[in-house]
Amino acid sequence: MSSYALIVAADTYRDTGLGALRAPSHDARELAEVLADPDIGGFEVRTVANQPAYVIAEEVEAFFADRKLDDLLLLYFSCHGVKDDSGRLYFASSNTSLNRLASTGVSSVFVNEQIDRSRSRKIVLLLDCCFSGAFPPGMTPRATNRVDFERFEGRGRAVITASTAMEYSFEPGSPTTGSGRPSVFTHALVQGLRTGAADLDGDGRVSVDELYDYVYDRVREETPNQTPGKAFNIHGDLFIARNPRPVVVKAIPLPSELLFALEHPIPGVRAGIIPDLVRFLRSPNTGLSATARQALERLTDDDSRMVSADARQALDGENSTLPSPLPPKPQVSEPFPPVRRQDQDRRLPRVEEVHLGRGEILVLVEHVDGDVKKVTLELLTLARSLGEPAAVWAGPGYSEIAKGRLAEFGAERVYVADSADIVDYVVAPKAELLASLVASRSPAAVLVASTAEGKEVAGRLAVKTGSGVITDAVGLGEGFIADQSIFGGGVNVHSRVSKGTPIIAVRPNSTAPVPAPGAAVEEKVDVALTDAARAAKIVERVKQEKGARPELTEAAIVVSGGRGVGSGENFAIIEKLADSLGAAVGASRAATDAGWYPHAFQVGQTGKTVSPQLYIAAGISGAIQHRAGMQTSKTIVVINKDPEAPIFAIADFGIVGDLNQVVPQLTEEIAKRE
C-alpha cells in the first residue's frame, strides 16, 4: 500500500501552432514538492518535463504497470490539450505536430487503456490542460465544444479537470495562442495541500472530494469563466494528503475491552490489541483516531520489547501508507488516560484456590432426540487425558443406546437427571444441575461445549459456584491450562482458572474423538429448580428439517463461500463440492447479508465458530471477523482470484484462480476418486 505520482509537464513546443506556456514547469515543481512532502502527501514522485510523446507514453505505461490493488496512483498533466477532427483528445508534448497528432501526441485513449490495465483501484487523474490555440488554421470542431472527459471514468478512479467546457477560440488561418499566465488551477491545488486549507472538515486528512471543492471555489473566485470539472467513481472517501497544520480534536475513549487489554499484565495480550488500534487509527472519527494513536505511542515505550517493536512497526507502517493516510499528530483536547501496570501485577494469578488434580471431570452431554452429539465424545476424550470422565445427562431421552455410546468413549460414570423440567426452561436448569453436582462431588473441572448455549451455561455456573470460566478453548493440557485464540484470532494464549472449580467451554472439533471403554455407571440425580430457573419457559419447539449434510459446528470438513461466489444461485457449486466431501456448507457474512445463503450458516465472529479438520474457503477475502470463526481449523485451503487476499496469510494451501472454474474441477476430480 504505497503512493506514487507521475507529473507530466510541457511548456515548449516544436510546432509553432502551439503557443509556449509559462506555468507547466513551475507548477510541476511546486506540485511535486508538496506531494513528496512526508508531512503532506508522502508520494514517491517522478516528473517528466518537455519530453517527446514516445517518452511520455513509456513513462505512463510503466507508471501503471505492476501496481498493487491498494496502491494510490496520481497522474498529472499540465500542457496543451488538442482534439483531432474526430473529437479525440491528445496531450501535447514537445514534439507534437498538429498535423500528425496520432504519432506525435499522447492519446487520451492510450492513457485510459493503461489505467484500465492497472490493478490499482485508487487512481487520481489531474488535468490542467490549456486548449486555447491548440488547433491548426481552419480547423472546425465537430458537434461539440466540450472535451469528453467521461472517457476517463471507471471504477476506482477520480478525475479533476481545470475546466469542464473547453471552448475553442481562434480566427481562420491564425490560431489563438495561450496567454502564458500562471495556472490558476494548479496554484489552487498546491495551496490547498500545502496550507491544509483543503482539509475542509478539519479531520486532518484531505480527500479527493475536499480537494475538488476547495479548488473549485478558488478557481471560480479568480476566473469566473473557468469551472473545474470532476468525474468520480470511488467507494467511500479517497484520501490523498494530510493536513500539515496541527489539528485539535476531542479525544474519544477506546472500548472498555481494549482499555482492559492495554493494562493487562501479559505482554501477549497487550500486543494482541495492536491490530485493533490500527483499525481505529484509520477511523474517519478523528477523536477515536487520535486516541488510538496515543495508545500506540504509549505501547512503543512498553517494557516488553515485543510489544514496543510491534507498536512501532504499526505506527511506521501507517505513517508511510497513504491509501488511508493518518492525520498529523493531533493536539488532543483530553489527554489519553495513563497506563499503569505494577510489576507485581505481571505474574499469573495464584492458583492455591483452584481445585486441581486427576479427579472426576464432569462433561455436560449434548444430545438431540437421545443421540449423543459428536462434541460430547470429543470432551470425553479430553477429560480422559486429565482425569476420570463423568458424563452429565440433562433432560429426557437417556437410553441404553446413549449409555453404550458414552461408555464407548470412556465415561466412567453417568449422572442422569431426566426430569422434563430441565429442558422445559431456558438454560438456567442445566446450570443449577451442574452447580449441585459441583457442590456434592467436588469435581476437578467441568467441561461443556463452546456453543451459544454451552457458554451461557458455563457463565451461569461460574457465578453460582464462585469459579473462574474459560470459553472458546481449542486445547487443554495438564493443570487445565487452556489454549485460546483471542482478539479476532490475533493472539494465541494459554489460560487457566485462578479460583474455584475450572469451568471450561471447548470449541467443537478441537480434538478428535478416540474410543476407550468406560464403565458408565449410572447414577440418578434429582435437582430442585429454583424460581429463578423457571423464569423463562419454552412454550414451543419447531423441529428443523435435518438435511444430509453434517451440522456446521460439528462437521469434520466445512466448505464456505463468500462474496466471490457472486449470487445465491451460484452457491450450488459450493454445495456440490461439500456433498462430494461429506462436508457442511458455510458462508461469510457478506454472502449471508446479501441473501445468498441463510444466516444460520454464517461463519465468523458474529456467526458460528468452527474448528474442522479441513476448511475450504472459496471467494472469501478473509476479514478478521471471518478469520476469528475458522482460523483454528486444522487445515485451511483457500480459493481466491486475488493473490493478495488477507485469508492467504492463514492458509495451508492456496489456489489463485476463479472459483467458478476451480471449484467444479475440484468436485469433478474428487468424484473420480470415490
Domain ranges of the chain: 3-242, 248-337, 360-534, 552-672
Please indicate whether the domains covering 3-242 and 360-534 agree at the CATH topology level. Answer: yes
* pLDDT, position 130: 57
* Residue reference for cell 429448580: 529
Q: What is the pLDDT of residue 251?
A: 64
CATH number of 3-242: 3.40.50.1460
Q: How far apart are CA 408 and CA 111, in angstroms?
A: 71
Q: Cα 165 vs. chain centroid, distance in angstroms? A: 41
C-alpha to C-alpha distance for 575 and 549, rounded to whole angstroms: 10
Question: How far apart (Å, rounded) are the C-alpha atoms in residues 389 and 443?
Answer: 10
Give the contacts of 530 (CB within 8 A, at least 6 positions apart).
432
Q: Which of 601, 608, 643 is nearest to 622 (CA)?
A: 643
Encoded amino acid at 440, one letter: S
184 to 41, 143, 160, 180, 645: CA distances (angstroms): 21, 29, 14, 11, 42
> In 3D, which of 34, 24, 17, 21 has the Cα closest to residue 5?
34
C-alpha cell at 307: 510489544
C-alpha cell of residue 436 = 449441585
Question: Which among 348, 392, 628, 634 has a CA at the least distance from the CA of 503?
Answer: 392
Per the DSSP assignment, residues forming a β-bridge with 49 are 9
pTM of this structure? 0.45
Angle at which helices 184-195 and 23-36 pack, to 10 degrees? 20
Cell numbers for 541, please give them.
419447539
**Residues 170, 139: Cα–Cα separation, whole Å:** 9
Residue type, 319: N
CATH class of the structural domain 360-534: alpha beta
**Alpha carbons 359 and 43: distance in angstroms, whole number:** 65
Query: What's the rounded Cα separation, in Å, for the pair 96 and 257?
Result: 63
Tell me what pLDDT residue 487 has.
63
Report DSSP state, residue 358: S
Q: Which of 666, 660, 623, 613 is nearest to 640 (CA)?
A: 660
CA distance 289 to 298: 14
Residue 443, C-beta contacts closer than 8 angstroms, at least 6 positions apart: 355, 359, 360, 361, 362, 390, 437, 501
Distance (Å, rounded) from C-alpha 635 to C-alpha 614?
Answer: 5
CB-CB neighbours of 668 under 10 Å: 12
> Distance between CA atoms of 293 and 295, rounded to whole angstroms?
5
577 sits in which H/E element: helix 571-581
CATH superfamily of 552-672: TPP-binding domain (3.40.50.1220)
Quick check: 441 and 362 in contact, CB under 8 A?
Answer: yes
Tens-place pLDDT, residues 570-617: 999 999 999 999 999 999 999 999 999 999 899 987 788 888 889 999
Which amino acid would we find at residue 243? N
- Cα 189 from Cα 183, distance rounded (Å): 10
Q: How far apart are CA 310 and CA 292, in angstroms?
A: 14
Q: Is the dihedral of CA 8, 9, 13, 15 positive or negative?
A: positive
φ, ψ for residue 529 (rounded to 5)?
-75, 140
Low-confidence ranges of the chain (pLDDT < 70): 1, 130-155, 164-182, 234-236, 246-251, 284-286, 318-358, 486-491, 543-547, 674
Integer angstrom CA distances of residue 10 from 20, 96, 134, 189, 291: 9, 10, 13, 18, 46
C-alpha cell at 103: 504519432
* Contact status, residue 498 vs residue 351, Cβ threshold 8 Å: yes
